[in-house]
């Protein structure tokens, strides 16, 4: 079998389906943003928190240098709902493990740069995730805007 760097998903149908997966403005992100706005929090979307390497937060609360990421359970390895594909297993394991490593690297780089990083699983209820974020913002007294 080819090395994991060269392996590809087997079926053209799988490739087409994966290409259609949204990378930004997902329904989970939109629901979270609606809740944040309803609770009076102002934010920016798709902010380039790091330029090299390029890392884009889904939501940023600039007043407190808060970077929020809404992570899909499959793509980021949710401890509750993540699954490992059986077809092209070597390819997918390498890809998903690389995603996890990139997330850890992003968190470390942003925190080193003074950002507060929060990751929210796409399966989380928006109201519950928003309550967590609002509590952090209130604690820091930074509700003055994005």
- Which residue range(s) make up the domain with 52? 22-140
pLDDT tens, per residue, the chain with 146 residues: 444 444 455 667 766 665 555 556 788 999 999 999 999 998 999 888 888 788 889 999 877 889 999 999 998 999 999 888 888 889 889 999 999 999 999 999 999 999 999 999 999 999 999 999 998 888 877 544 44
pLDDT at position 9 is 54
Burial pattern 10-23, b for ≥16 Cβ within 10 A else e, equals: eeeeeeeeeeeeee
Is 1 within the bounds of a domain? no
pLDDT at position 94 is 93
The domain that holds 94 is classified in CATH as: 3.40.960.10
Is 17 within the bounds of a domain? no
Cα 52 → chain centroid: 18
Structural domains in the chain (count): 1
Is 14 within the bounds of a domain? no
């Amino acid at each position: 079998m080819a090395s994991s760097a060269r392996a590809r998903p087997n079926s053209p149908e799988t490739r087409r389906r994966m290409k259609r997966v949204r990378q930004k403005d997902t329904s989970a992100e939109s629901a979270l943003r609606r809740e944040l706005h309803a609770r009076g929090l102002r934010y920016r979307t798709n902010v380039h928190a790091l330029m090299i390497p390029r890392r884009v937060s889904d939501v940023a609360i600039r007043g407190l240098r808060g970077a929020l990421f809404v992570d899909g359970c499959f793509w980021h390895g949710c401890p509750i709902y993540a699954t490992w594909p059986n077809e092209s297993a070597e390819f997918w394991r390498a890809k998903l493990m690389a995603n996890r490593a990139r997330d850890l690297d992003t968190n470390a780089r942003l925190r080193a740069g003074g950002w507060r990083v929060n990751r929210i699983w796409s399966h989380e209820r928006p109201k519950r995730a928003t309550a967590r974020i609002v509590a952090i913002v209130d604690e820091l007294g930074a509700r003055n805007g994005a």
